[in-house]
Every structure is written in structure tokens, then in C-alpha cells.
Amino acid sequence: MSQSPLIGISAHTLIKSQPIPRYAVQRTYVQAVQQAGGLPVLLPPTIDLATARTLLARLDGLLLSGGGDVAAARYGAPDNPLIRLVDHARDASELALVAAVLRSEKPLLAICRGIQVLNVALGGTLYADIPSQVPGALLHRPKKGQPRDSSVHTVNLVPGSRLATILTAEMVRVNSFHHQSAQQVGRSLVVTAAAPDGVIEGLECPDHSFCLGVQWHPESPIGNQEGMERLFQALVEAARATMS
């Protein structure tokens, strides 16, 4: 019987847990990996490059979870007062994980903040705040009073991309809970999805066996067109294929 692939999930620092600091991952990521047949392994935001390489040698796949903003200095931009919830330890840790996973054959699924970290790791930049920097942008969060996981906008998928192939669609309706997005795309990444306002919603790295980022929250059971679990199934399948 084949063993379940070990899928590392990046955790964040729980700010409201003072006086005892804690690391945490939202349960929906763990559940999505489990439902796809993976064994979740929670990764604290304390990982340097050497540790990331050691971990990636033993994990079978990596999931970058959502969260606060990446510090502007990570992509060479001036600080912006609208940037919030920066976790410097997490930035360093996830950038190391991306560097390590891209040098391995292990698959990566990067969600929300994760797609932004992926882009920055490859030299790309971010819009620090979509509403103030992208003229005519749609709302990328629920309207006031609507639930967090509301269906917010559509996303057009690039035909032939891995993303479109996995989701077997050219357009999907998604939830949206972000105020940042990729701006200049990092080296060796291609855009595979965009909202109707042009905001980048999907990136992948065709040079790698499985490196996929999405700006929405496929792990949430709410607010998305059906079929998002296929992204986690594809991650676990790709991870299984790297197990000897």
C-alpha cells in the first residue's frame, strides 16, 4: 500500500496569543490536504535556507498558506502605510521554503499570500494595496456585511495552463480576500489567471514539475465554484509521484 505524501503547510505567528507566543494554521488548509489524501505537517515560521533544504528532502510537497502582507523591502519597494500584519520571520521562512522547493522536484501550491511570496521569491514585485494602486480595480474582498468567504469575482484561466487543466475550466467564480497582488511577474513565472480588472490571480512556473499559485482561497469550502478540491488532489498526486 502506498503511503500518504507528507505535505508541509506554512504556519504564521499568532499575534493575539500574548503573553504566550504561538504558531498557527487555519484549519481549512489542514482539512483540504487531508481530504485530498495528504498528511499535513505544520511548518513554523522559523526556517532558514539550510533547514528548508533539509525539510524539503523529507517532505513530499509544500503548501504556502494565506496571511498578512509581505514586507515591501522584500521586493525593493518603499514601505507603505497600507501594508499590514507584516511577519518578518514568516517572510524569511517562506522565502527560504520557496527557494528550496524550486530547487527540488517536490510540488508547491501557493495560496493567497503564498502566490505573492512565490512571486517575490523569484524577483517579482507586489501591489502593496490594490484599491489605491490599481485604477478601476474590482472589489477583491466581500462587500461590507457579507461573509468572509463570499463569492466575489470571476477569474479567467489561461487555456492550456496547468491551472486550467486541473480545474477543467476557462473561467471560475471565486472568493477573494486580499488587498495585494503580484505586479511585475518574477522570472520564470507565467500568468495563468486574472480577474476581469487585470489583477493577477494565478501564476505558475513551467520550468518546474509542479509550481502553482492562486490568489483566491481554494481551501475554503465556501464562495468558490465547485471543483476546487482538485487543486489539492493534484498537489497530493504530484507529491506521491516524487516518493520512491
Contacts to Mn ion by CB under 5 A: 140, 176
**88 catalytically annotated:** no
Residue type, 151: S
Catalytic residue among 94, 201, 204, 219: 219
The residue whose grid cell reads 490571480 is 201
Q: Which is nearer to Mn ion, 106 or 140 (CB)?
A: 140
**217 catalytically annotated:** yes
235 within 8 A of 225, measured Cβ to Cβ: no
**208 catalytically annotated:** no
Catalytic residue among 12, 140, 178, 217: 217
The least CB distance from residue 123 to Mn ion, in Å, is 23
- For Mn ion, the nearest residue by Cβ is 176
Q: Which is nearer to Mn ion, 74 or 140 (CB)?
A: 140
The least CB distance from residue 28 to Mn ion, in Å, is 17
3-state secondary structure the chain: CCCCCEEEEECEEEHHHCCCCEEECCHHHHHHHHHCCCEEEEECCCCCHHHHHHHHHHCCEEEECCCCCCCHHHHCCCCCCCCCCCCHHHHHHHHHHHHHHHCCCCCEEEECHHHHHHHHHCCCCEECCHHHHCCCCCCCCCCCCCCCCCEEEEEEECCCCHHHHHHCCCEEEEECCCCCEECCCCCCCEEEEECCCCCEEEEECCCCCCEEEECCCCCCCCCCCCCCHHHHHHHHHHHHHCCC
The least CB distance from residue 239 to Mn ion, in Å, is 27
Q: Which is nearer to Mn ion, 174 or 211 (CB)?
A: 174
Q: Phi, psi (5° rounding) for residue 187? A: -60, 140
The least CB distance from residue 175 to Mn ion, in Å, is 8
Catalytic residue among 12, 112, 204, 205: 112
Q: Phi, psi (5° rounding) for residue 147? A: -65, 155
Q: Which is nearer to Mn ion, 66 or 186 (CB)?
A: 66
The least CB distance from residue 236 to Mn ion, in Å, is 25
Q: Which is nearer to Mn ion, 140 or 208 (CB)?
A: 140
- Active-site residues, by number, are 112, 217, 219
